[in-house]
């Protein structure tokens, strides 16, 4: 099946710094990628939808200046957590549909990136 890779898988940073998380589709092209946040023992919360070549669409309540999303190519989307604070500590997951099989409704997920802000 299609593979989505996230990097880094774990990152620890100091409060006030910025952290970038990459999401790559390795063997397919994705015009859209979804960024989720998963809290402990809770479901995945959709944060935003990144669109290749245009601005991301953010869900209600998600600060777009806090969580910068860039979808630079058909295989790469990045999430940058700016001026991170401890409350931003979470598990961030990206997913993407295969552009050439989008009618199946299947999303392919990255392994997730655990962010810890000290």
Partner 1 sequence: GDSVTQMEGPVTLSEEAFLTINCTYTATGYPSLFWYVQYPGEGLQLLLKATKADDKGSNKGFEATYRKETTSFHLEKGSVQVSDSAVYFCALRLGAAGNKLTFGGGTRVLVKP
Size of the site for partner 1 (CB under 8 A): 23
Judged by CB under 8 A, which of 21, 28, 34, 52 binds partner 1? 34
Applying CB under 8 A, does 49 fall inside the site for partner 1?
yes
Task: For 66-102, give the DSSP string.
Answer: TEEEEEEETTEEEEEE-S--GGG-EEEEEEE--GGGG
Applying CB under 8 A, does 100 fall inside the site for partner 1?
no
Applying CB under 8 A, does 27 fall inside the site for partner 1?
no
Applying CB under 8 A, does 63 fall inside the site for partner 1?
no
Which stretches does DSSP call E strand in 15-82? 19-25, 32-38, 44-51, 57-58, 67-73, 76-81
Cβ closer to partner 1: 39 or 83? 39
Applying CB under 8 A, does 109 fall inside the site for partner 1?
yes
Q: What are phi and psi of 23, to 5 degrees?
A: -130, 120
């Amino acid at each position: 099946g299609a593979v989505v890779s996230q990097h880094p898988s774990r990152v620890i940073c100091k409060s006030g710094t910025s952290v970038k998380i990459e999401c790559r589709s390795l063997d397919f092209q994705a015009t859209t990628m979804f960024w989720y946040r998963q809290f402990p023992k809770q479901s995945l919360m959709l944060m935003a939808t990144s669109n290749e070549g245009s601005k991301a669409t953010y869900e209600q309540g998600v600060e777009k200046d806090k969580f910068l999303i860039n979808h630079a190519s058909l295989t790469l989307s990045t999430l940058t957590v700016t001026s991170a604070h401890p409350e931003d500590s979470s598990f961030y997951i990206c997913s993407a549909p295969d552009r050439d099989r989008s009618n199946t409704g299947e999303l392919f997920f990255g392994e997730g990136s655990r962010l810890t802000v000290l």
